[in-house]
Amino acid sequence: MLLYFHYGCLWLNNGEMFSLASSGSGIFGNFGSYWFYILAVVNGILICLPNLENKIYRLCLFIGRSITFAYTCYFFIVFLPFLPLSVIAIVAIGTGFLMLTPVILFLLHINELSKDFKYLNLLSSKKLIIGVSLLSFLLIPSLITASYLNDKRIVKEALAYVYSPDYSKEYNIDKSSLQKTLDCIKANKDGDIDFIFSSQTPYLSSYFNWLVLDNLTLSYSKICNMEQVFFNTAPVESYFDNSRNAGVSITDVSTNSTYDESQSAWKSWVDLEITNNNGNSWFAEYATTIDLPEGCWISDYYLYVGDRKEPGILAEKKSAMWVFSNIRNENKDPGILHYLTGNKVAFRVFPFTENEVRKTGIEFLHKEPIILHIDNYEIELGNAKETRYKNMNTENVAYVSAQEKRTLKAVKREPYFHFLIDVSKDARLSSSYLIENMEAVLAKNQPLAKNAQISFVNSYINTFPLDNNWKEHYQNQPFDGGFYLERAIETVLFNAYKNKSYPVIVVVTDNFDNAILNRNFSDFKFAFPESDFFFELDYNGMLHVHSLTENPSQKIPSAIFGVTGEENEKQGAGFQLLRTFGQLVLEYKLADNSTVYLPDDNKPSIVLKKDIFNISHAEIKEKDWLSALTMQAKWRSQILHPETSEKEWLDMIKCSFSSKVMTPVTSYLVVENEAQKTALQKKQEQTLAGNKLLDLDEDTLSMSEPNLWVLAILFGGVLLYKKTRKRQAAR
């Protein structure tokens, strides 16, 4: 009977009796796991077994009851605060007695354990019995903890592979465990549905979030991205706010540049007046992007809040983005600057009321005179007459000016084909078409076929020389997972960096839309000085051109190579790519006799002398150009070796704070009041204490544990019910 009641309690909670709860949720939390039902059966049997006068039997029974006592205690703790509600439920719908089951079960369980203890105490040491009981009691919590620690390991490996990989390492993620863990994370992300209804498991969800996610969260965008990579799920459409910049524009620009002789660099302020020209009172936002020249960084920022000039706060990037998003939703006064990819910086100011004019300013730290383009304005900063051109070299990085570039030797690296073939779960390109199309490309571009490489791409990348066995390798590939083209291109660029030859990337797929390309490759720009393009070879044998730096998922006209659409269609896969390559680049020799190749573009370049190095904090000075150069080199080091970013991330942030120079891991933010500054500080402390790959993009979700106000309402309801009954009886 006790077992039936406990099952009834679980069914009632999960809404199976009256369909009260939605799928995946329960009245008092989600107890839908089959383990709850299995343990209910085992626990009921152990409690109901007779207490025979047999030492071995009673010891085994005592151990079993001690193990499942953790299960009994859990439900007792979960349901005890709702005990007053059972009285109302008994009167109202007649099922409240089911809610009393965990309490009754707890008392019966203690009674049976007490009998076992008294019996065994006559036959064995008291300390031994207590020790056995404690170890048995801790078995279920230990197994739960071990399971969560394994989930943490799986999530960490998957996040590292997707967001901070070692390009020289082969990965093999346990996909079945990853799917289970992601499902658990998604369930724990769901907040309360209504009153006390929830899709989370009381206390266990809190423990999971604390142990697995460091009390942070994994955003839906990252979950979606990982599911695309490993399970080939469909991408989720992202929301685009098209109200930004509508009628909001810069109406006045002023500049002030000062040359700092001590560091041979310029500090330039750009002051902006931005006006909302909308003819309505709705809140508007100004948003734009700024392409910073090489060797230029942002070292200060301000925004007027009413009549008060509010200086920008340099904060950890995720924390700043989270705070900006939250206070923007409250129509407060945030302004923010942060890096996107490469040297592209996002700049946003909010809100603007009808016809409002707002003033803001940004300080730039740069070595040489530069020209900035902000919207339709061309802004000149610094001047050549006052500039002292001086080569800047340290042990780890070099700044090569346009003047110094003229002294470098121009060379022509040998191009070679690197084919990236789609072998994802949904790839349907037949081998005959694939072979025919690739052979057509190779036939008309024989010089590019020399030393060619081929990579088979799904969740992982398997690379082979393009020899006579490549067709056999293709037939043996597992068609599984997503088409992770982003990782494949990054790996190709990483492996080609510093080589005397460079890849001409050709993507072979029957559906380019399935390719996972969430960002461009501007961060890798230093690794492809010759050409910004790669190619798509489709099912019909047509070659299409894509950009590595701007919207790589979008095709661009092949006419940029002097090839018309008609010519491409006529020649199919045969239009000659060789004539589009062979640009000259400049050799820059390093101390270890390796060579870095720079674009021959009459613009300055930054050279990373060591792929991995440490920064001395004593070297970092406030608003110092050389310190900014060192931090840029450190960021470039992490582009090549993302596997070091977890260790180096905090150092990068600390260096940015010390120098007051914004880097890709920090952001300049203006907030309105002290409360917002306090929120930023707390959120930043939470971020810096956790895993850098986890997120703050979504609010911390409320857990299923009953809050004090819930209990107060319940007790109030009981008192009101009793008082009403007394009044009715008095009549």
| DSSP letter for each residue of 98-138 | HHTHHHHHHHHHHHHHHHHHHHHHTTS-HHHHHHHHHHHHT
Q: What pTM does this model have?
A: 0.82
Is pLDDT above 90 for 323?
A: no
For 642-668, write each residue's pLDDT tens digit: 999 888 899 999 999 999 999 999 999
pLDDT at 429: 65
The helix (H) or strand (E) run that includes residue 228 is helix 220-231
Residue 489: pLDDT band (50, 70, 90) is very high
Q: What's the rounded mean pLDDT across residues 702-716?
A: 44
List, in order, residues 6 or more apart from 40 with CB less than 8 Å away: 3, 6, 7, 10, 71
Question: What domains, with CATH codes, occur in the chain?
Answer: 1-242+700-731 (no CATH), 246-388+645-691 (2.60.40.290), 413-580 (3.40.50)
334: which 2 tokens? 């945030």
Q: What is the reported pLDDT for 271?
A: 98
Instruction: Over range 117-137, report the average pLDDT.
Output: 93
d(CA 212, CA 145): 10
Please, which pLDDT band fits residue 475 given cuts at 50, 70 and 90? Answer: confident
Residue 91 has what pLDDT? 45
Residue of 469 and 455 predicted with greater confidence: 455
Give the model's pLDDT for residue 245: 63
Concatenate the DSSP letters of all residues of 644-703 into one string: GHHHHHHHHHHHHHHHT---TTEEEEE-SSHHHHHHHHHHHHHHHTS-TTSB-SSPPPP-
DSSP-derived secondary structure letter, 377: E
CA torsion sign, 696 to 699 to 704 to 708?
positive
Mean pLDDT, range 472-490, rounded to an integer: 93
Residue-level pLDDT at 27: 52
Inform me whether the pLDDT recorded for 542 exceeds 90. Answer: no
Tokens 């461009």 correspond to: 520
Give per-residue pLDDT as tens, 500-516: 999 999 999 988 999 99
In percent, how much of the chain has pLDDT > 70?
Answer: 80
Query: What integer pLDDT is reported at residue 539 of this predicted model?
Result: 84
Greater model confidence, 3 or 727 = 727
What mean pLDDT is predicted for residues 252-263?
94
pLDDT band at 582 (very low <50, low <70, confident <90, very high): low
**Per-residue confidence (pLDDT) for residue 701, from 0 to 100:** 34
The residue type of 231 is: F
pLDDT of residue 340 exceeding 90, the answer is: yes
E-assigned strand segments in 164-295: 192-194, 197-198, 248-260, 265-276, 284-291
pLDDT given for residue 355 in this prediction: 83
Q: Is the pLDDT of residue 191 over 60?
A: no
- pLDDT class of 85 with cuts at 50, 70, 90: low
pLDDT band at 284 (very low <50, low <70, confident <90, very high): confident
**Mean pLDDT value of segment 687-716:** 54
Confidence of residue 616 (pLDDT cuts 50, 70, 90): confident
317: which 2 tokens? Answer: 């990037």
SS3 605: strand
The predicted pLDDT at position 321 comes to 86
Taking alpha carbons only, the member of 8, 70, 7, 12 closest to residue 37 is 7
What length is written for the chain?
Answer: 731
Least confident of 122-136, 197-211, 267-281, 348-362: 197-211
Distance from C-alpha of 614 to C-alpha of 591, rounded to nearest angstrom: 18
Task: Show the tokens assigned to 394.
Answer: 């340290």
Using pLDDT thresholds of 50, 70 and 90, give the confidence band for residue 453.
very high
How far apart are alpha carbons 369 and 383 in whole angstroms? 5
State pLDDT tens for residues 236-255.
Answer: 665 444 445 668 899 999 99
Lowest mean pLDDT of 295-309, 573-587, 612-626, 628-642, name the range.
573-587
| Nearest residue to 37 (alpha-carbon basis) of 63, 67, 6, 62 | 6
CA angle, residues 268, 300, 679, in degrees to nearest 5: 165
Confidence of residue 22 (pLDDT cuts 50, 70, 90): very low
**What is the predicted pLDDT for the residue at 387?**
80
Q: What is the pLDDT of residue 427?
A: 85
Report pLDDT for 388: 78
* In the predicted structure, residue 598 carries a pLDDT above the cut 70: yes
So what's the pLDDT on residue 278? Answer: 76
Asked if residue 12 has pLDDT above 90, the reply is: no
User: H or E element: which one contains 181?
Assistant: helix 175-189
Assess contact for 559 and 675: CB atoms under 8 A.
no
- Other beta carbons within 10 Å of 29: 26
Q: Residue 532: helix, strand or coil by DSSP?
A: coil
The answer to whether residue 725 scores a pLDDT higher than 80 is: no
Lowest mean pLDDT among 338-352, 410-424, 586-600, 716-730: 716-730
Spatial CA neighbour of 547 closest among 566, 573, 528, 526: 528
Q: Specify whether the CB–CB gap between 506 and 441 falls below 8 A.
A: yes
Q: Is 70 exceeded by the pLDDT of residue 95?
A: no
Q: Is the pLDDT of residue 46 over 80?
A: yes
pLDDT at residue 354 in the model: 82
Mean pLDDT to the nearest integer, 261-282:
87
**Contact 202/145 with Cβ under 8 angstroms?**
no
Q: Which of 13-22, 149-158, 232-241 has the highest mean pLDDT?
A: 149-158
Backbone φ/ψ region at 212: left (φ over 0), alpha (ψ -120 to 50), beta: alpha
Q: Residue 401: phi, psi to the nearest 5? A: -70, 165
Q: 269 pLDDT exceeds 70? A: yes
What is the spatial distance between Cα 597 and Cα 586, in angstroms, rounded to a whole number? 5
Q: What is the pLDDT of residue 77?
A: 86
| DSSP per residue, 546-603 | EESSS-TTSEE-GGGGT--HHHHHHHGGGS-SGGG----EEEEE-TTS-EEEEE-SSS
Mean pLDDT throughout 592-618? 91
Q: Which of 22-36, 103-117, 605-619 has the lowest mean pLDDT?
A: 22-36
Q: What is the mean pLDDT of residues 485-507?
A: 94
Q: What is the pLDDT of residue 717?
A: 54
State pLDDT tens for residues 344-381: 999 999 888 888 899 999 999 999 999 999 999 999 99
Residue 721's pLDDT is 52
Q: How many CB atoms lie within 10 A of CB 340?
A: 16
